[in-house]
């Protein structure tokens, strides 16, 4: 997955997890609340992976540009 796709999936998982967690609280389902919290964490991790990929890509592009200028 690319950096943008990772971030989009991550934000979607964060939102879905948050909703699931709150519904679990509202209906008194510890299982649903925990599942929601875990999904939220998964989403946060996906977002961070996307950010890391974008940072690496930007760095590689800067290096490539610098090399091109020196040639």
Residue 62: pLDDT over 90: yes
Residue-number span of the structural domain to which 38 is assigned? 3-70
- Give the mean model confidence (pLDDT) for residues 24-44: 98
* Average pLDDT of span 50-63: 94
The first and second tokens of residue 5, run together, are 């796709």
Neighbours of 49 (CB within 10 A): 16
Place of tokens 């961070």: 48
List pLDDT tens digits, range 37-55: 999 999 999 999 999 999 9
Q: How many domains does the chain have?
A: 1
């Amino acid at each position: 997955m690319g950096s943008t796709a990772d971030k989009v999936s991550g934000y979607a998982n964060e939102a879905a997890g948050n909703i699931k967690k709150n519904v679990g609280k509202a209906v008194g389902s510890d299982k649903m609340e925990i599942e929601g919290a875990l999904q939220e964490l998964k989403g946060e991790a996906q977002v961070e992976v996307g950010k890391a990929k974008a940072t690496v890509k930007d760095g590689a592009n800067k290096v490539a540009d610098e090399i091109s200028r020196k040639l």
